[in-house]
């Protein structure tokens, strides 16, 4: 699995357990995960940080899964 180094080792491990979805990270620490972007954006932690340059939202798909859009 390749993810940005800035997300940190702990984030990589916990994200692997989640499966497909969206991950919000703030300053290299995973703060929220949701199966849909809408659900992630509606969490209190993420709402509070929207617009902050240190907030990173990524769509996560495990390596062994093929996503078709």
The domain limits of the chain are 5-60
pLDDT tens digits, 2-30: 333 344 445 455 555 557 889 999 999 99
Burial of residue 22, with CB atoms counted within 10 A of its CB: 0-12 exposed, 13-18 middle, 19 or more buried? buried
pLDDT of residue 1: 33
Quick one: DSSP state of residue 62? -
Q: 45 near 32, Cβ under 8 Å?
A: yes
Q: Can you tell me which residue has the tokens 């078709």?
A: 68
> 37, 52 in Cβ contact below 8 A?
no
pLDDT at 55: 96
pLDDT in tens, 28-66: 999 999 989 999 999 999 999 999 999 999 988 888 877
- What is residue 17's predicted lDDT score, i.e. its pLDDT? 59
């Amino acid at each position: 699995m390749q993810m940005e180094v800035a997300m940190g080792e702990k984030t990589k491990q916990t994200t692997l357990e989640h499966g497909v979805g969206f991950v919000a990270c703030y300053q290299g620490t995973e703060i929220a995960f949701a199966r849909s972007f809408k659900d992630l954006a509606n969490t209190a932690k993420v709402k509070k940080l929207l617009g902050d340059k240190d907030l990173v939202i990524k769509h996560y798909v495990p390596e062994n899964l093929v996503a078709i859009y």
